[in-house]
Structure 1
Amino acid sequence: MARYLISVFLLFSLLFQACGEAVEPSVPASPIYYNLFLQDARHRALLSPGGIVRITEPSTAQERIGRAGIAVVRSIEQENTFYAFDLQCPVETNEIVSLMVENSRLVCPRCRSAFEVLQGTGRPEEGIAQSPLRRYTVRSLGRDHLVVSN
């Protein structure tokens, strides 16, 4: 009886411990530093809640956007909150596959995994992906100036 109770206790301990762990992004961190101006025509989608901008080319030689680029998203829930995600698909890590915007989500054109971004989680919602997108920090340096970095 004691063995049975110990076995049950260990099983529940493992289950509860596994449930509390967050899944880490599988895409390795890349150097990120990008200045974003909301009044710039390339970034105007971010003036509205739920706006998403894909950035696949740096604006200057000093800026860094990783391997596949970044997506910057304006939250639909919090007025002045922005999120940034790596555009590299977590499934296609051996090749650079840049995620595309479809129906307010980021979607891999190759494996068709879709990721939630409007609430800032980057978690997979469809497809074979198991890990979330790598997320970067977005800081406001003024009313219309954002900096994405890691």
Structure 2
Amino acid sequence: MVSELINANPVIYEKKERRVRSVPSTADEYAVEPIDQEEIFDILFVYIKDPEHPYSLEELKVISEDAIEVDDGRGHVRVTFTPTVEHCSMATVIGLCIRVKLLRSLPSRFKVDIRVAPGSHATEAAVNKQLNDKERVAAALENPNVVEMVDECLTPSYE
């Protein structure tokens, strides 16, 4: 985790009530039924922890179900996230965590598009460019420190 917090006292929101469903253990199991917005939110995102806090992105309202677009037929997922503060230095790490979680969980036929919500970050265009450039993402994931941070954010915590 980061030693100096950008947002030392974030607002914490309640998690939404979940319906019980079986969770596919492999990406191949997603090929059987269409993937929808709620499934992406429930299965993939509520377990991603913030890089600075022990809270999930859902609890910090960084990700909401409304900000997820899924077109199963075309194999496209777009996630728009909102950092907790406009100058969040962890925005690219959060976006990278979202991308990695999707790439690890979805069938390879899906194209993933990760965006910062319009007007929610001081360097929105630069963050969006970095998160959706294959070479930049690959370079980031070659850095052991970045991979360690991403893996830590994706490690489930059992409350």
TM over 0.5: no
- Between Structure 1 and Structure 2, which shows a larger proportion of helix residues? 2
Q: Determine which structure has more spread, i.e. the larger CA radius of gyration.
A: 1
Q: Report the TM-score when normalising by structure 2.
A: 0.29
- Between Structure 1 and Structure 2, which shows a larger proportion of strand residues? 1
Q: Report the TM-score when normalising by structure 1.
A: 0.30
